[in-house]
Amino acid sequence: MINYHLRKATQVDSDLTYQIKKSALKEYVEKVWGWTESFQQEYYAENFSPAHMMIIEVEQEAVGWMRTEIQEDAIYLSDLYLLPSYQNKGIGTQLIRQLQNESRAKGKPLRLEVLRVNLRAQAFYQRNGFQKTGKKPEKWIMEWQ
């Protein structure tokens, strides 16, 4: 099991988080909407907000990031990205377990959305107890209670 550390993201992390998201998600975005690098960079820069965002570090190297938000009805995991070389090493499972513990302690379900074409992510969430509870045109809504 790999030890990791979480740190709050700052405005300086915009390029870093973009590159991590691109490495983890590009193949799926290409399948759904297509990928135009200039559009993706511009869209990300315009919408980047480090609020609720945590950088995942292993030995002081950023290897991923996640964003969660506690709302009235649930805890939302809106983003969880790991560099491909750090996937399938237990980091994601450890993070999900922490969120599940927080969800249990607060008495709120844990919700997320996942692209329908991202079968690996769906399988990961299902292995960790999430169930599909709804759908959007390109995404499944999943929940853990």
- Residue ranges of the chain with per-residue pLDDT less than 50: none
pLDDT at 92: 96
Q: What is the pTM of this model?
A: 0.93
Please give the domain boundaries of the chain with CATH numbers for all domains: 5-144 (3.40.630.30)
Distance of CA 35 to the CA centre of its chain: 19
Q: With helix as H, strand as E and coil as C, how does 49-118 read?
A: CCCCEEEEEECCEEEEEEEEEECCCCEEEEEEEECHHHCCCCHHHHHHHHHHHHHHHHCCCEEEEEECCC
